[in-house]
Structures are given as C-alpha cells and as structure tokens.
Structure 1
Amino acid sequence: MGLLGTGSGIGIAIGPLLGGALFDAYSGVPPLMWGIIAAISLAAGAGFLRWFGIYRSRLE
C-alpha cells in the first residue's frame, strides 16, 4: 500500500507540473504539444504491457 500511495502521489504532483511546462513551451503549436503528451502515454502503456508480460510469466 505504501508504494501505491507513493506512486499515486508522484503522479498527482508531476502530472500538472509536466503539463504546465509543456503548455508554456508549446502552446503556439498544439499538434506538437499533444503529440508529446500522446508519446508519453504510449510509452507508459508499453511499459505496463512489458511489466505485465514479465509478471504473468512468473505466475505460470
């Protein structure tokens, strides 16, 4: 439970910070800003799928 709370807290703290920095830097170029956000999301999804594959193979 401690790691879950820490991970959630870090996400809640870093998400708006990263979003604000991206908005300040790329507000004039919305496709680039949304492309960066989409790339971060896809990287997170790929990392989850990789972790899930490792976790599932250990269970079998």
Structure 2
Amino acid sequence: MELSQVAQLKEVSSASKAEQAIAEGWTLISIIATANGDKSYPTYILGKARDAGADFFTSD
C-alpha cells in the first residue's frame, strides 16, 4: 500500500495486537522504536486503505 492510499492510521504496542489488526484488514506500515526512560519497545504503525472508488477531496 502506498501512503497516498491510506485513509486511517493507528499505533499498537504489541505484536499480538498488530497481528489482530492485520487479520481485521489493516496493513503494517512501519515498526518504530519508542523510548520511555531507559527502556525502548516497538510500536507498530498500521494503515487502512480508503475505498478504491472514494475521492479524497470530495465534499458533500
């Protein structure tokens, strides 16, 4: 998925939550290291694509 196709982003802090989101249709975009004091841990960035026929700039 290209970033121009992303309609929603979310972060999760565990591999199991990332796997669950992927099973629900989310795509893994990136894994980044997040620091909290002396500890660092992975943060999973997931994206969900907008509908293929949707026009991002369309307004009501």
Q: What's the TM-score once normalised by structure 2's chain length?
A: 0.26
The structure that has the greater radius of gyration is 1
Greater RCO structure (CA 8 Å; 6+ sep) = 2
Structure number with higher strand proportion: 2
Q: What's the TM-score once normalised by structure 1's chain length?
A: 0.26
Structure number with higher helix proportion: 1
